[in-house]
Structure 1
Amino acid sequence: MERSIIIKMKSFLLSLLALTAASASLLPRQQAPSFGNVNAVIDSAFKKVSLLDYQGKYVVLLFYPFDFTYVCPTELIAFSDKIDSFRELGAEVLGISTDSHFTHLAWIKTARKDGGLGGLRYPLLADISKDISRAYGVLVEDSTDDLYGAALRGLFILDGAGKIRSIQINDAPVGRSVDETLRLIQAFKHTDTHGEVCPANWQPGSKTIVPDQDQKKKYFSDVNRDL
């Protein structure tokens, strides 16, 4: 009887914690939590990284669960292979997990054919304190979960002012799209520059909408001309 009560109490407390965390979740348009003096691996060397280092640039924060796993290397490599596309947009990518920088380095030095990263082209941060993952709401804190102590697949796009523009959080089995991340940055930068808004499935060079009750009619008239 006593054990049953304890289990129920634990379940209740975990639910309460989850509810509290959800109510305090970050949202787009908010200022991103800052961090500084974080151990990282950059170009196979240990360095310190702060979010302020990237002030004025768009930043993609790419949280992932663990080094030396399954989906994680496919994501990190995919972003690394397209890093020039991000930098052409004035954007940087920062990979983050709760592993140590020593583990990061070993993984980066492991060949891709052996499940390694084979020379990553952007910084990999060691959130060993778990403070960054917790601040961004992606840390798994349920001790009964297989991912306890790790970060979920969170992707945050920050603009040059350090504000959150987009949030995506996946469960562990499914990776994220590099092309969609690039598209979102292109779309946000377009709205930043031109003040127009981007409709569903917008691609660079396609039509946008002037956010005005009268001027919006041109867009809807153009795209629905045959209806």
Structure 2
Amino acid sequence: MKLLLLILSLLISCSAFGQLTETQSYWKSIRDKDVKELGMAKLDTAEYQKAYRIWRDYQVVELVQYNDSTYDGQIVNFATKHFGSKRKPKSELLVHKIKIPGQKVLSLMDTLKAFNIETLPDSEEIQNYPQGLDGTTYVFEIGKNEVYRLYSYWEPESERYQDGSLPEIISVRKILESLDKEFTLNKFFAGFLGRLPKGEYSYGGIYMIKN
């Protein structure tokens, strides 16, 4: 019986991964690496009743429902410190975590669900959606009742690149606005950077020397 359950679990896992596009697989590999380095659980294997993660290259907001009455969440800021010599460069990931109270997590999860966070398509599925190399790509991970989804949106807040009348863009913007209204995420990250000691750092494609 245990062997049968293991085989079924592997088949389900393979099926789920087989549904990922090349771009989704690329983002999943990056986010899985971040998850490991940040000491977080992978949402495709975590035993949560429901969980949302909203990523950008140097910050993630995590909202988790463990059961009908237990909620938890966190904002994680991270940057890489570079040191050592040119011949022997070294690096270290610096992490700052801010806890989100359970009641606020519950409220936010209800709000984001109302803005379709669980059902939004990947941007690749939207006709003529622009994709770029520079700028900010938001990656959304959803884990619910053992079903895992990952999708991404490049520069969804940009008035230059995006059609603000698209229902999907409206939903993504409302999701991001809700988070920023609650936490002022850029301010949180700026505060994290401000507290770093002198040195050389990188985050989200940016290299910074702090004197």
TM-score past 0.5 threshold = no
Larger Rg: 1
Normalised TM-score (structure 2): 0.27
Query: Comparing both structures, which one devotes a greater share of its residues to strand?
Result: 2
Normalised TM-score (structure 1): 0.26
